[in-house]
A and B are shown apart, each in its own frame.
Chain A
């Protein structure tokens, strides 16, 4: 339960911190930390414009996407406390439930009949397909290392093995989660949310026709996804046994650092050329394989 609430709380300031980091890096004063949340409030108060081409799919998709994110959140643990719902293989459920939301986001984009949105939909489907193996390799190595098969068990057994080399591994896990989060949320270097040209967008171009309430739901889903991945990262670098208050403050610190990393990457890096993205994403899988190799050594299977 704590995890669930902490993720909700950190989602409030997460996008603001990214914005703030970006504006400071570019020498601007920038908006307040809660500006994105206020913008959601504005969207909620607004009316909606729908395209004539769209139908029922377009109407229900944002709600389904958000619901999938909220339910996926329920399996994320925090420190020693179990997740709201925890069972063997809950990460498979996690990944497939998020895919369910994404499925609807993609077909909603196709529902508008716009070529721009078709393009975005196609890229989203394509890139998230490529990132799937990386996530599963990472989780497989976790499962192999700890002998557990649920998020809660894996993270509570992670540092218990007493093997100090696990630190190398948690750094790889941290790195992979950052990259997966960036791709899943369509941020740099795969996609630039601030680009001005439809032809080069991925996520933004998919939601061109959404407005008002639906757009607010989409933003909420995206912010929540960020803090979900933040929570996963936190779990791989902080041992579960520590004091609760320390844990909570560390959790917030990790979320803020994660947001700042994103902001800094977006300030100092250019977006990949679109057709280099597959290579970039597949690199993550190969890093995952290196992690697998490390685990083979750590568990004395190799050598």
Chain B
């Protein structure tokens, strides 16, 4: 009862942000957010510590027929924890990020921004707590609307507004699929809720309904080919928002898929393979497209698709494990996927925040104009580096642990499965290792071109480190990244627990015990690695002190007078890769050849651009087709009132005739 009242009070207080003076709006928002986070953390703690299995909170709202119940089980609690961390760090970071906008934006737009931020948070935690179909759709919609308002913060720019509307439309397409799925369940069982899914699945075909849910939730999560909103919306949004959207909001799609999977009983193998194939495609294509991007935030957005792919691989393997009664595979697959949800929310938000800091400092997102920023912005650079290492899944950071869980699940089940599964699993191993290699390629490029070398433009030369307000909050995220990497047991064990309870797996103590010893060994080896590095560096320090150290220009093969324009660029870094990835990326070069009769060539420009073929195929083409059709129909729009009356008359006549002949 107490919980419900507190929750409702916070919900109402959010609207008061409009009446708070502009200078204090941020503090007010922070206070409310901290209240909400504290409240939800207490709930999570109760559930995760095992003091109660499921926490029910009845919000006695007459408008919902007193049926609005928040139900927190372990899965919900896990997602709430993930949301809490990133949303909190995001708001702390926003303080510094929004400072320049204090002059240009009026009080109202700040109010709307903060209100949307709070509601994005509240709707996200409600999404994972609500089981009733209709209420779920309402909060799902609230989540889409509030994030839409956040994306269009800089709506003076028409392209941003356009992107925002594109995002809003795609979210509604997704919602439409979920709605149909819920209606199907409602029609068959008389109840529209996640709890009724079990009943539905027990006497209907599972695959069709699952696919409907998968498309609906997959658009949110950004599985290829449902991803096209992602690379558009993330760059358009302010960085703290893109951090939260990419870090946690897209994970709501993963939550939805997991929630549906709990109830699925038949067709498990088919569903598992479907998820696995789509995820592998998302993972590989996502990172492949990321490599050729010039826009730093767009690059990161494509990486979100890749990481959703990795999460999906874990989930797909988990489902295959369920189908074949391979408890180890399902435990490791699901746990790897779920832990990657947490991991990705940490390092991806970190990377987006730092991309925001870079944007803040040099006012461009174009990688080709950056370079040498590590000297101007050392803190940002180191934070970005740690994020890059973690996202590539390299030990001793957190990304490795979740990828390791997935890998080991696959390797373990290879020897026990039959022919077809072996082939599928081998395919996923190859896919995952390829994703790892591509990610390293991508992030050496991103980090190297942005932060290292010589500055490639005037803007980059004059960059200054961002204020401390923007850097210090990120240490929270860094702390989690390092702790999960070095003391993985602390996190993997609870995740095992969540998975085994959620999917009611049989006894897992043996697997857990065996696994804990593995993780301890990994921590040990990671520790040794860190110590070796430190020891070598300390030795090097003293070694160099006693030797002559001098400085000079970089080796230029006899020609050192070049400008920074001759440096390796992001495009040249990806050149040979582009060569073999051409069929997928369709990179176009826009340039004019020098003609033979052109003795003194005039100024030339070179531009390369790669299209997202899925966007072309699934969005642009159908939209073009429909708008062509609509243009043809527009002939009827004559602007003369007689014609319109005629249309009405024809329509009435048609209805009358059709009724008369018993057709409708």
A interface residues (Cβ-Cβ under 8 A, vs B) = 44, 46-57, 60, 63-64, 66-68, 70-71, 74-75, 85-90, 92-93, 95-97, 99-100, 102-103, 106-107, 110-119, 121-123, 125-126, 128-130, 132-133, 135-137, 139-140, 143-147, 149, 198, 208-209, 212-214, 217, 274-275, 278, 285, 292, 296, 299, 301-302
Contact = CB atoms under 8 A, between A and B. Distances in A.
B404 to A, nearest CB: 6
Given A63-B540, A107-B447, A113-B372, 7 more contacts: A46-B547, A49-B551, A92-B408, A118-B448, A139-B411, A143-B415, A208-B555
Contacts of B576: 122-123, 126, 274-275, 278
Nearest to B447: A107
B518 A89 contact: yes
- Sorted nearest first, the 10 A-B pairs with minimum C-beta distance are A118-B568, A110-B448, A129-B437, A47-B548, A113-B453, A87-B521, A63-B536, A147-B415, A67-B532, A136-B433
B426 A137 contact: yes
B544 A149 contact: no
Interface string B507-548: 000000011011001101100110011001100100110011
B134 interface: no
Contact of B572 (A56, A70, A96, A122): A122
Contact of A100 (B394, B522, B564): B394
B374 A56 contact: yes
Contact of B411 (A74, A116, A140, A214): A140
A68 B515 CA distance: 24
B392 A103 contact: yes
Interface in B559-591: 564, 566-568, 572-577, 579-580
Given A47-B547, A51-B553, A213-B544, A96 B436 contact: yes
A112 B549 contact: no
A245 B410 CA distance: 37
Chain A at the B interface: SS class? helix
Interface stretch (B183-191, B438-446, B635-643, B649-657): B438-446
B2 interface: no
A145 to B, nearest CB: 8
A89 B404 contact: yes
Residue from B426, B548, B552, B575 whose CB has the most chain A CB atoms within 10 Å: B426
Given A107-B452, A118-B572, A213 B437 contact: no
Contacts of A66: 536
Given A89-B408, A99-B394, A301-B422, A67 B529 contact: yes
Contacts of A133: 430, 433-434, 437
A52 B372 CA distance: 12
B441 A125 contact: yes
B104 to A, nearest CB: 35
B580 A278 contact: yes
Nearest to B456: A113
Contacts of B430: 133, 136-137, 285
A144 B547 contact: no
11 contacts: A47-B548, A53-B454, A68-B529, A87-B522, A106-B444, A110-B453, A115-B566, A121-B444, A125-B444, A128-B437, A212-B547
B449 interface: yes
B98 interface: no
Contacts of B554: 51-54, 112-114, 117, 209
Contact of B449 (A52, A57, A110): A110
Given A50-B549, A113-B454, A123-B576, A292 B426 contact: yes
B438 A129 contact: yes
A292 B425 CA distance: 12
B437 A301 contact: no
A128 B393 CA distance: 16
A212 B540 CA distance: 11
Interface residues of B, number: 86
A151 B119 CA distance: 51
Interface string B83-108: 00000000000000000000000000
B527 to A, nearest CB: 10
Interface string B369-383: 001101100100000
A303 to B, nearest CB: 10
Interface in B597-647: none
Contacts of A106: 440, 444, 448
A70 B535 CA distance: 13
A179 B536 CA distance: 30
Nearest to B574: A122
Interface string B236-250: 000000000000000
Given A99-B436, A278-B580, A213 B543 contact: yes
A111 B548 CA distance: 22
Contacts of A292: 426
Contact of A110 (B537, B555, B568): B568
Residue from B393, B440, B550 whose CB has the most chain A CB atoms within 10 Å: B440
B412 interface: yes
Nearest to B408: A89
B418 interface: yes
Nearest to B412: A149
B429 interface: yes
A132 B429 CA distance: 11
B537 A60 contact: yes
Contacts of A296: 419, 422
Contacts of B394: 96-97, 99-100, 103
B532 A71 contact: yes
Contacts of B550: 47-50
Given A53-B453, A88-B408, A100-B394, A140 B555 contact: no
B555 A55 contact: no
Contacts of B318: none
B419 A302 contact: yes
Contacts of B341: none
A296 B426 CA distance: 12
Given A52-B551, A112-B453, A301-B422, A122 B540 contact: no
A274 B412 CA distance: 38
B567 A132 contact: no
Nearest to B546: A47
B518 A88 contact: yes
Nearest to B536: A63
B588 to A, nearest CB: 20
A217 B544 CA distance: 13
Contact of B407 (A51, A89, A147, A209): A89
Contact of B433 (A107, A118, A132, A301): A132
A88 B409 CA distance: 10
B664 interface: no
A274 B528 CA distance: 38
A100 B389 contact: yes
Nearest to B430: A133
A209 B555 CA distance: 6
Contacts of A68: 529
A139 B437 CA distance: 16
Given A93-B404, A208-B555, A119 B426 contact: no
A89 B411 contact: yes
B440 A64 contact: no
B55 interface: no
Contacts of B529: 67-68, 71, 97
A85 B547 contact: no
B418 A125 contact: no
A90 to B, nearest CB: 8
A44 B525 CA distance: 28
B393 A55 contact: no
A93 B403 CA distance: 10
A111 B450 CA distance: 10
A55 B375 contact: yes
B521 A86 contact: yes
A226 to B, nearest CB: 20
Contacts of B410: 140
B65 interface: no
A70 B532 CA distance: 8
